[in-house]
A and B are shown apart, each in its own frame.
Chain A
Amino acid sequence: MKVLMFGWEFPPHNSGGLGVACHGLTKALSNQGAEIVFVLPKKIKIEKTFFKIKFANSKPLKIISIDSSLTPYLSSHQYSRNEEKAGALYGRNLFEEVNRYARLAKRVAASEPHDVIHAHDWLTFPAGMEAKKNSKKPLVAHVHATEFDRTGGLNVNQRVYDIERAGLGAADKIIAVSNYTKDKIVSHYGIDPNKIEVVHNAVDPADWQNAGGHFGELKKKNKIVLFTGRLTLQKGPDYFLSAARKVVDYYPDVLFVFAGSGDMERKLIEGAAWLGLADKVKFVGFLRDAELEKLYRAADLFVMPSVSEPFGIAPLEALTCGTPVLISKQSGVAETLKHCLKVDFWDIDEMANKILSVLKYGPLREHLKEQGGREVGKFSWQEAAARCLGIYKGLTTV
């Protein structure tokens, strides 16, 4: 099975869950015998480059980088801001760049033999559609987030929406990362539910067993409650901050750590000061790998307060690191993870109540950690890859 995949930078060059998912899935697919040509956008100043990597016991993976300034989670507003610095090499606005990338992708499709095309999220959908036009091979559109998730349903960008809908319409099969996302695709984009398969994301425990030591000094006096993720409306960091205010009144020996960056950072820092939480809240910026793992392990509770989370890999990472999790009910992972606490993102009182309960009641922390740690084993990329292979086979005669 030869797969032409339009994806995103792997860790450690990723900037979020999309790269993690692409990496986990691709690795497991090659491991199960799929031959993957993995195409991704990257600023390289030459038109394209390629190299091969090989995971242990797997088919080699050919990676082709196309020169482009696209990155995941980009809004057209952010793109314009970035491009003022980058010069005239790339499209003048995000949509021009997406189309330019698609034209370059079409050339790749013409030179790389494949049986199926697999595209991850809307920025690559035009590339996938161009490739399909060229090769007449089936297209799988993989939805990790919709415009409705990214914007919390407010200020949905019509052009983004149009591209998403065109891609979903052109796809022969759609993979949604959760039933939560599947429902959104059906209700907002008018897609036949029978065309959509749900494949949950996963976590690779091998990625999380390196960091030794703990945040000794920080932990001595305080309990730690951790948020990781982009500081954007979608991720709900402002709800987390409001809950922190309530928690501190009842349990002062606690630190709230925000690991991530994003357009809400300033607002949050100011908000923390305004709420009198300056010494209770730490903004540590975007962390990855060993640093992030250390934080996961140091935390007494991980909170994912997302306003709309199509899946949510981070709680699985926290559980893998032995930390209990409190997750938003407005998430894909909440539909399948049982040994965790759940809350409506807007219910700040309940969020604070549950954070406090975990801080106060040791057996609760222990049980969530132990049972959640066991349960997280059911999320496997091998399983997700097997599902994808099944979908490819249903679309091809290979």
Chain B
Amino acid sequence: MPSVCFYFQVHQPYRVKKYRIFDIGRDSLYFNDSSESNLNNIKVLKKVAEKCYLPANNLILELLKKYPKFRASYSFSGVFLDQLEEHLPEVLKSFQELVKTGRVEVLAETYYHSLAFLHSKDEFKRQVKKHGQKIQKLFGVKPKIFRNTELIYNNELAREVEKMGYKGILAEGADHVLDWRSPNFVYKPKGAKKIKLLLKNYRLSDDIAFRFSSREWRDWPLTAPKFSQWISAINGNGQTVNLFMDYETFGEHQWSDTGIFEFLRHLPEEILKNPDNDFKTPSEVVKNYPAVAELDVHSPISWADIERDLSAWTGNILQQSALKSVYDLEKAVLKTKKKNLIDAWGRLQTSDHFYYMCTKWFADGDVHKYFNPYDSPYDAFINYMNVLSDFKLRLNN
């Protein structure tokens, strides 16, 4: 002890192309931007594949071969896998090879990387099921651990997910719910029977994901030996160090020239130098460690921003009205039984659309925090609502 538990999130949304009111009723292709902008989904996918997915997968495979004790887990959104199947099958294949080693776990999530749990339990269950089928088909495994979009979590979700048969669930180790407690243990969600809760150690995770290349950071440059010492220091007062982050950390958020790949390459060796340390998948953590206490999380938490709440997606009336408009369509959409409509509706639920409408801190000029392919949150809203107007027309015809 402690075990290091890696989980990488892999997701790309279907961004909505520039869509004006005049296009309503005339253009039902919402996601096919072909410009040089970052609304061009294929362009973004290819860029990130080149900078992150391919080199990172090569490295992880190399580490799995070299260190029999190395483990990792991934969660892929269904919309990401759809895009890989259509445009970059070779990248999908490189992910499949990782899973084939048997030491890489695949987690469950909502197919459309959506906020469905907050708006419709039925739709939520439909999406988790659809995602499970996709994972089974592409990777030949059945996920046992669930992680919700953007690590959004509360007691109610844990109970729902337990009923659906999952053994474990992931969440943010937010200070305001942990208080004096440590994220380095396994917990039991309040009101649940057996399902176990794994909490992100956000300090150590963010040292890699956010601070790695920051020269203002006291601990820059971060090296594998240094990080391993921090892990070893937990020995005796923690059982699992959950390092949860976007996979794009490697090569896309932290560029290759920051040394992020070299850091990762040396990390297993350094961590395993201490015989007390090892690596575990989330399922292995759940199997090996008991829940030390019950954790009560009534209001939803997430892994976003300082607030660790829902405000990045539901904080303003633009986001709230857009969400309401899309979920109001549930019955009408499902009634059509038309695959193309149901699928388009799902893609319009992806959380990123609402994130782009976020106006928190916007006036302070802190836009770098909100990587946004639109010129402004207002443009994102206008575009989205125009598309939704067209979609409603199609539903009524």
Contacts and interface: CB of A to CB of B under 8 A. Distances in A.
Interface of A: 246, 250, 338-342, 349-350, 352-354, 356-357, 360-364, 366-368, 371, 374-375, 378
Contacts of B378: 340-341, 364, 367-368
Contact of A361 (B359, B365, B375, B381): B381
B316 A357 contact: no
B289 to A, nearest CB: 46
Contacts of B359: 339, 367, 371
Interface stretch (B61-69, B215-223, B317-325): B317-325
Q: For A350, A353, A364, A368, which residue has the most chain B Cβ atoms within 10 angstroms? A: A353
Contact of B375 (A342, A357, A367, A371): A342
B21 A339 contact: no
A360 B385 CA distance: 10
Given A342-B376, A367-B316, A361 B363 contact: no
Interface in B346-397: 359, 362-363, 365, 375-376, 378-379, 381-382, 385-386
B382 A354 contact: yes
Contacts, number: 61
Complex A-B, nearest 5 residue pairs according to Cβ-Cβ distance, in ascending order: A363-B321, A353-B20, A357-B382, A363-B317, A356-B21
A147 to B, nearest CB: 30
B22 interface: yes
A352 B22 CA distance: 9
B22 A349 contact: yes
10 contacts: A340-B378, A342-B376, A349-B20, A349-B22, A353-B20, A356-B21, A357-B382, A367-B316, A367-B318, A367-B359
Interface residues of B, number: 20
Contacts of B22: 246, 250, 349, 352-353
A9 to B, nearest CB: 34
A332 to B, nearest CB: 16
Contacts of B376: 338, 341-342
Contact of B382 (A339, A361, A375): A361
B363 A350 contact: no
Contact of B318 (A250, A356, A363): A363
Interface in B293-344: 316-318, 320-321
Nearest to A353: B20
A46 B37 CA distance: 63
Nearest to A337: B363
B152 to A, nearest CB: 22
Interface of B: 20-22, 316-318, 320-321, 359, 362-363, 365, 375-376, 378-379, 381-382, 385-386
A375 B21 contact: no
B362 A360 contact: no
Contacts of B385: 357, 360-361, 364
Contact of A250 (B21, B362, B375, B381): B21
A339 B363 contact: yes
Interface centre among B21, B317, B379, B386 (most CB of A within 10 A): B21
Contact of B363 (A338, A360, A368): A338
Given A357-B385, A375-B363, A350 B375 contact: no
A342 B321 CA distance: 22
A246 B20 CA distance: 12
Nearest to B365: A338
B87 to A, nearest CB: 29
Given A367-B359, A368-B378, A357 B317 contact: no
Contacts of A338: 362-363, 365, 376
Contacts of B365: 338
Contact of A360 (B21, B316, B375): B21
A350 B362 contact: no
Contacts of B321: 361-363
B382 A363 contact: no
Given A338-B365, A342-B375, A375-B363, A350 B317 contact: no
Please indicate which of the listed interface residues B316, B318, B320, B378 has the most CB atoms of chain A within 10 Å of its own CB.
B378
B23 to A, nearest CB: 9
A362 B378 CA distance: 13
